[in-house]
């Protein structure tokens, strides 16, 4: 009798059913699906102990930078250390910040879709002041105010 009750609970539609567990896993996976912001090679990995709160990617000059997930632009500014910076608020208390851009394509308040262009990387300069045909873009992900490793959620 106890075995039959347990079997009915697992095979049914209740809280402990196999179907509910599979749906919850799929829902969580869907929430975490993110697109790479740009094609490039990782040159600096996530290392919060050394104040590296994201990943840095070597990219082609003038590469377009895209949103990793749907959201709303909440900040866009220029900084002497980070170039043009743009931040997107996503659902579930997730923020994505894109640094070291040369132009921003969206302004604060704009809604963006995953994969939509939000910024442009630029050409760098070498130590001898020659134009370098590559650039670096930095991506940070913040969940509830804590930095998280983008490599855990995005395949670069």
Alpha helices in the chain (DSSP H): 2-11, 18-32
pLDDT of residue 128: 47
Cα–Cα dist 139/67, whole Å: 10
Tell me how far apart the alpha carbons of residues 11 and 20 are, in angstroms, rounded to a whole number: 10
What confidence tens digit (pLDDT) does each residue in 29-59 have? 455 578 999 999 999 999 999 999 999 999 9
14 φ, ψ (degrees, to nearest 5): -75, -170
156, 149 in Cβ contact below 8 A? no
CB distance 76 to 59 below 8 Å: no
* Sign of the torsion angle spanned by Cα atoms 8, 9, 14, 16: negative
Q: What's the pLDDT tens digit per position in 83-139?
A: 999 999 998 899 999 999 999 999 999 999 999 999 999 755 444 445 556 789 999
Gap between the Cα atoms of 52 and 11, Å rounded: 47
């Amino acid at each position: 009798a106890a075995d039959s009750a347990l079997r009915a609970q697992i095979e049914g539609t209740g809280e402990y059913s196999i179907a509910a567990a599979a749906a919850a896993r799929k829902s969580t996976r869907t929430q975490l699906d993110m697109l790479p912001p740009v094609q490039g090679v990782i040159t600096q990995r996530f290392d919060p102990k050394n104040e590296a709160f994201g990943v840095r990617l070597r990219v082609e000059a003038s590469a377009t930078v895209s949103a990793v997930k749907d959201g709303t632009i909440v900040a866009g500014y220029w900084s002497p250390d980070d170039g043009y910076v743009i931040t997107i608020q996503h659902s579930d208390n997730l923020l994505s910040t894109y640094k070291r851009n040369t132009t921003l394509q969206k302004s604060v308040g704009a809604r963006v879709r995953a994969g939509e262009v939000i910024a442009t990387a630029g050409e760098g300069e070498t130590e001898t002041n020659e134009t370098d045909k590559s650039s670096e873009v930095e991506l940070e992900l913040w969940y509830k105010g804590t930095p998280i490793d983008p490599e855990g959620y995005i395949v670069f």
